[in-house]
Amino acid sequence: MRLFSQSDVQGAMRMPDYIKCVEEAHHAHGRGHVIAPDLLHAESEHGEFHVKIGGFTGSRSFFGLKANGGFFDNTERHGLPNILGIIYLCDGDTGMPLAVMDSVAISRNRTGAATAVAARHLARPDSRTLTVCGAGIQARVQIEALQQVLPIQDVFIFGRNSQKVDEFAARCAAELALNVQSISDIAAAVATSDVVVTCTPATSPIIRADWVAAGTFIAAVGADSPGKQELDPRLISQNKVVADILHQVVRVGESQHAIAAGSISSDQIYAELGEIVCGKKPGRENDSEIIVFDSTGTALQDVAAATFLYELSQNENVGSEFNLFD
C-alpha cells in the first residue's frame, strides 16, 4: 500500500489534471459505470464531519472513501486548516487496500475542477466577468480553475471582512494576471457578471434572484451539508439546475431549501452533470438562460484524483510504500 502526504499530492497534480479527472468521473457516472456514490454527515461541537464513498467499474475497478472534518474557525483558534482529512483507495474487485493519502489538496482542487467542468458545458463560452463570494483558499482555486476553461478577465470579490477581501484581491491579481477588485456592492457586481461563484459557509442567502442577469452561470459550491445556503431559493425554482449528484443536492445542496419550501420537487431538477458530460442531455441551450450548478462534492471526484495519483506512482517515485499486513 502507498502513502501520500499533502506535499506528495501537491507536487504530482496540477489543475488541468484535476479537471481531466473530474470530467472523466462525471462521464463514468453519466454512463452508469460507477460504484454508487453516497455520503454521511455528522455535526460536532465546533464543526462537522463528512464521509463520502464511491468508485468506478470497468477494466480496473476502484473504490474510495474520504473522511473530512470541516472546522471553520480552525485557522483562528488553532492555526490549522479549516478542512482536514484522508482518502482511502482500494481495489474495487478484491477490496485490497491500495493507498491512503491526505485529502486536503485533492478536496480543494477537485472542487474547483468541478466548477470548471460544469462551466465548460453550462456557461456562455465568451464569459469574461466573474463574481466570487468568498475570500478563502477555495475562492482562489475557483478562479484558477475557471481560467482554464473560460476567457476570464475581470473578477469581483465579495466577503464579510473587507481587509481580508482587499488583501485577497491584490494577491490574486498578482498571481493570476487578472483584473481583480474587492467590492462592497454585491448586487451591482452580480448584475454585470457572466459567472457567479459562491464558496462560503453561509446559512442564509447571499445572492438574490432579481440581481442575476439573463445568461449567467452560477456555481453554488458552499452548501454541502444540511442548513447551509448561499442562494435565494427562487434561483433554484425558476431556472435550469444541474446537480453534481441528484440525491445529494436534495439533502445537503442549495436545492434542499427550494424543495423544503415546496417551490420545486426533486424530479424538476434538470440534470446531473454526468448526463450532460456524456451527452445524454444538452447543457446550455441559449445565451439567455440562467443555469445553476448545485455542487455538493462527490467521492467520485476524489476517487478519480486518488486513482490518478496511485497509477502515477506505479511509474514515478511518488509517495512511500507501507506494508499494512506485515
For the packed helices 299-313 and 104-122, what is the interaxial angle rounded to 10 degrees? 120
Q: If we measure between CA atoms, which residue out of 171, 29, 215, 9 comes closest to residue 114? A: 29
Helix (H, G, I), strand (E, B) or coil at 157: strand
Q: 178 with 172: CB under 8 angstroms?
A: yes
Q: If we measure between CA atoms, which residue out of 69, 70, 57, 54 comes closest to residue 31? A: 57
Q: 249 with 255: CB under 8 angstroms?
A: yes
Q: If we measure between CA atoms, which residue out of 72, 19, 33, 27 comes closest to residue 49? A: 72
The yes-or-no answer on residue 52 being catalytic is: no
Q: If we measure between CA atoms, which residue out of 117, 131, 270 comes closest to residue 200? A: 131
Which grid cell sits at 289?
Answer: 438562460
Q: Which residue among 20, 52, 66, 281 is the active-site one?
A: 66
State the greatest distance between any 2 C-alpha atoms of the chain, in Å, as a whole number.
Answer: 62
Which residues are catalytically annotated?
66
